[in-house]
Structures are given as structure tokens and as C-alpha cells.
Amino acid sequence: MLTGLARALRLGDTERDHLHTPRPEPRPPRLPRAARDGRRLYGVSDTDGYGCRRVVGTRRIGVPG
């Protein structure tokens, strides 16, 4: 621990800031397998994992967004 502390004190400002990077943003929820596939298993469609409305009764879905 002492060596790590001494090394942190010897580093410059930019490198010290680089040691404490913020956590990455959480990823959106994964789509169900049928939606990722691009195929619908049933006709009635609510929303995909991202909350985008889909057309009812289609066999294929569009690109999210």
C-alpha cells in the first residue's frame, strides 16, 4: 500500500485523474431472443426492450429507435 501511495504521489495530475475514472453508464436491457433475431414468434406486439412501439401482426421487426 505504501508503494502504491508513493507512486500516486509521484504521478502527474493527468495520470492521477486517469486512475479514478468514472464508472461506465449502464447498458440498455437486452432484447428477448425473438426480437434480437428479427423474427416474431407471435403476432401481437407491444414494445421491444427499448420501449419502441412495433406494428401489430408482423413477422419481422424493424431496427430499434
How far is the CA of 54 from the CAs of 22, 27, 28, 34, 63, in angstroms? 35, 22, 18, 13, 10
pTM of the model: 0.15
Could you give the CA distance from residue 63 to residue 5 in angstroms, rounded to a whole number?
A: 49
* Residue range 33-61, pLDDT digits in tens: 655 555 544 444 555 555 555 555 555 55
Sign of CA dihedral 36, 38, 44, 46: positive
Q: Give me the percent of the chain exceeding a pLDDT of 90.
A: 0
How far is the CA of 60 from the CAs of 20, 28, 29, 41, 50, in angstroms? 44, 21, 20, 9, 16
Q: Specify the pLDDT at position 27.
A: 73
Q: Specify the pLDDT at position 34.
A: 56
Q: State the chain's mean pLDDT as an integer.
A: 57
Average pLDDT rounded to a whole number, residues 3-27: 62
